[in-house]
Amino acid sequence: MQDTLNFSNWSLKKTLNTVDDPITKAKITVFYYLFLLNFPKVGALFSGYVFYGDVTQVKRAIIGIAVTVIILKLLTWKPAYLQALIFFTITSTILGIWKVIVIDHTALNVVTIQNVFMIIMWSFYGLPRRWGYFYCILAIIPIVNAVSTGSNSELFVGVPQIPMFASSFIIVLNFLIILVAHFYYRNILYNTIAESKKLNEELEQANAANTLFFSSMSHELRTPLNAVIGMASLLIDDNRDKEQKENLDILKFSAESLLSLINDILDFSKMGMGSVSLEAIPFNLKELAENVCAGLRIKANEKNLYCTTDIDPEIAELELIGDPTRISQIIYNLVGNAIKFTKKGGVSFEIKLMHRVDNLISLRFMVKDTGLGISPEQQKLIFEPFTQADVNTTRNFGGTGLGLSIVKHLLTLHNTNIDIESELGAGAVFSFDITYAVSDKKKEEVVAFNFNNSARPVSDLKVLMAEDNAMNSLLMKKLFSKWNIQLDIAENGEEAVKLVEVNDYDIILMDLQMPVMNGYEATTKIRTMTVPGKATIPIIALTASVSSDVQASIIEVGMTDFVSKPFNPNELYEKLQLIQ
Ligand code: ADP
């Protein structure tokens, strides 16, 4: 709100132009008209002198006009005074009511009752709520007192000392003011609701556009990285030269770091948009935790650190209902950090069963390390995004400072918090509790994908891959020729469908985002083929997006499994082995 207008200003329009907030605009408008209508109202008091020769009515009218002029001037000169003017108006009206009823014991009249209504209206619409209560009580007490004691219980229609027609005129104007004020506030209320609805819709649309943007960005960024990491792996495997191998290791390590950075930033942005939600599917926590830690143990071994897991035997065979991707991410981040910030000793990861009630189990997760430790001051900061305990952290250890804020967010989605116990130089213990529902299915029944477990040599397989990225196709050709697998490549979904119609494949690897026809559409077409054996060919999605909604759509269109890009060649090999 602009503080001061030109002193000569009387225009409501100009005054309103200085205000942005619609509610304040409404208050100013109603207040302005209230006092504008005061002119005819106090003017009506002159009739008391004209008809009954009552000079006090002239004095009252002149004071009324003067006060009205001053208030209108202050409002149009300094709209920021609005609240003070409302306080003044309400207080003086209440004093008037108390004087008339409590001191003068005048009989109640309609105008007094109208004034009480106006005070109620103004104190709630115009002032902070506690003042609303305060002034309402002050205005109502004399009325209730008058009615209950019967001292001045007769309700006078008119205003004493002026003729009936003038009283009626004031009463009508008062009703008009009450009506106009409610009309204005109602409009503001409805407009605000409509506006916030519209804003919500726009926000949802923007969110959807953002999600789309992030999912295609994620695809675009991860696809070339997939080729870089894959090619580096191939070269490392084939290369005998020690120095070149070292260089390739650095190349692969950097590409993998870039990938994890991209994953973190995309995840972080998605969390900011509130578009991360948890899945509820059956999974075996022991297997999951062992797998995550097995991957990280390689890093620990490189640094000569131990990395142990201790998982309560009571949960080993249980299938829990929850989000395996997100809990893996939490464990991966915490154990990964523990290894990263430890130079001597090692890291231990524990899951303990705290208690079980019916099919609900509470688990305590604990990651302990013998590393650098975190001081109490640093502990307050490290969960903030892009914050690291020490300014030298990035230089010495890499990282962005996003990991823990993602962990914290994911734990909030799990309705829980993270605790740290640590001192500088004395290692750190990160712990949190999660309650999971236990699935009543046995572990064996929860096979996520319908692969057969009888391994057979993969070289017998005939595989079709739909992939539009030439670099990835080249990488896959090299990889598959190393495995002696026959691989046909289709550049888009439409081509893949045509190839499936004329050839017999054991398995299809399907990219999801392709020109002409995407992977979902192609899968739907293949699944509805009538030639025996075609509709049931296992289809593995190759997806750069690991989000749970993408996973859900993969299963929904009838794909058998997915491998996330950039994929681990061993993971793909194992999946191929499991197919009959
Ligand atoms: P990043 O690891 O990418 O730097 P994080 O959000 O995962 O980001 O961690 C934030 C900071 O918290 C780290 O930079 C580090 O200073 C500190 N930190 C996290 N885990 C540990 C740990 N186990 N021991 C010591 N310091 C840690």
What would the mean pLDDT of 143-154 be, rounded to a whole number? 72
pTM: 0.52
Q: Is 160 in contact with 106 (CB distance < 8 Å)?
A: yes
Give the Cα separation of 198 and 176 in Å (integer).
Answer: 32
Give the Cα separation of 78 and 439 in Å (integer).
Answer: 67
Would you say the CB of residue 402 lies under 6 angstroms from ligand 1?
yes
Look at residue 56 and tell me if it is in a domain. yes
Same-domain pairing of 68 and 179:
yes
Same-domain pairing of 317 and 405:
yes
Residue 560's CATH number: 3.40.50.2300
Return the ligand 1 atom nearest residue 397 CA: 4
Give the Cα separation of 141 and 126 in Å (integer).
Answer: 21
Per-residue DSSP letters for 452-479?
-S----GGG-EEEEE---HHHHHHHHHH
Look at residue 382 and tell me if it is in a domain. yes
331-375 residue pLDDT tens: 988 999 999 999 999 999 999 999 988 889 999 999 999 999 999
Quick one: tokens of 493?
């979904």
Question: How far, in Å, is the centroid of ligand 1 from the Cα of 326?
Answer: 19
What pLDDT score does 546 carry? 55
Q: Whose CA is nearest to atom 4 of ligand 1?
A: 401
**Cross-strand partners of 464:** 488, 508
What would the mean pLDDT of 235-250 be, rounded to a whole number? 81
What pLDDT score does 515 carry? 85
To the nearest whole number, what is the mean pLDDT of the chain? Answer: 84
What would the mean pLDDT of 385-413 be, rounded to a whole number? 76
Cβ neighbourhood burial of 113 (10 Å; 0-12, 13-18, 19+): middle
62-104 residue pLDDT tens: 999 999 999 999 999 999 999 999 999 999 999 988 988 888 8
179-201 residue pLDDT tens: 888 888 888 888 888 989 999 99
pLDDT at 153 > cutoff 60 = no
Would you say the CB of residue 519 lies under 6 angstroms from ligand 1?
no
Would you say the CB of residue 371 lies under 6 angstroms from ligand 1?
yes
Question: How far, in Å, is the centroid of ligand 1 from the Cα of 389?
Answer: 7
Look at residue 210 and tell me if it is in a domain. no
476-516 residue pLDDT tens: 888 888 888 888 999 999 999 999 998 889 899 998 888 88
Give the Cα separation of 60 and 57 in Å (integer).
Answer: 5
Question: How far, in Å, is the centroid of ligand 1 from the Cα of 392?
Answer: 12
Same-domain pairing of 384 and 482:
no
528-551 residue pLDDT tens: 888 888 888 889 888 766 555 666
Would you say the CB of residue 260 lies under 6 angstroms from ligand 1?
no
Expressed as residue numbers, the domain containing 59 is 12-199
Highest mean pLDDT pick, 23-32, 276-285, 366-375: 366-375
Same-domain pairing of 291 and 423:
yes
pLDDT at 555 > cutoff 80 = no
Would you say the CB of residue 329 lies under 6 angstroms from ligand 1?
no
**Cross-strand partners of 539:** 508
Residue whose CB lies within 8 A of the most ligand 1 atoms, among 388, 406, 421, 429, for a mutation test? 388
Same-domain pairing of 307 and 340:
yes
User: 172 vs 243, which has greater pLDDT?
Assistant: 172
Same-domain pairing of 74 and 165:
yes
Look at residue 400 and tell me if it is in a domain. yes
Q: Helix, strand, or coil here: 113? A: helix
What pLDDT score does 155 carry? 60
Quick one: tokens of 279?
């899945």
Same-domain pairing of 475 and 401:
no
What pLDDT score does 457 carry? 62
Q: Helix, strand, or coil here: 303? A: coil
Same-domain pairing of 480 and 382:
no
What pLDDT score does 72 carry? 94
Phi-psi region of 386 (alpha: psi -120 to 50; beta: other; left: phi over 0): left
Look at residue 485 and tell me if it is in a domain. yes
Same-domain pairing of 384 and 495:
no
Would you say the CB of residue 255 lies under 6 angstroms from ligand 1?
no
Residue 409's CATH number: 3.30.565.10
What pLDDT score does 420 carry? 95
Question: How far, in Å, is the centroid of ligand 1 from the Cα of 252?
Answer: 23
Question: How far, in Å, is the centroid of ligand 1 from the Cα of 407?
Answer: 11
Look at residue 217 and tell me if it is in a domain. no
426-473 residue pLDDT tens: 999 999 999 999 987 654 443 343 334 444 566 778 899 998 887 778
Give the Cα separation of 76 and 15 in Å (integer).
Answer: 6
What pLDDT score does 454 carry? 44
Same-domain pairing of 397 and 505:
no
Structural domain count, the chain = 3
Would you say the CB of residue 401 lies under 6 angstroms from ligand 1?
yes
pLDDT over 90, % of the chain: 28
Same-domain pairing of 35 and 131:
yes
Same-domain pairing of 435 and 306:
yes
Return the ligand 1 atom nearest residue 427 CA: 24
Look at residue 247 and tell me if it is in a domain. no
Would you say the CB of residue 393 lies under 6 angstroms from ligand 1?
yes
**Domain endpoint, select from 199, 229, 262:** 199
Look at residue 218 and tell me if it is in a domain. no
**Domain endpoint, select from 412, 445, 478:** 445
**Domain endpoint, select from 168, 199, 230:** 199
Q: Whose CA is nearest to atom 19 of ligand 1?
A: 337
The CA distances from residue 228 to 11, 448, 488, 573, in Å, are: 69, 30, 22, 19
Phi-psi region of 88 (alpha: psi -120 to 50; beta: other; left: phi over 0): alpha
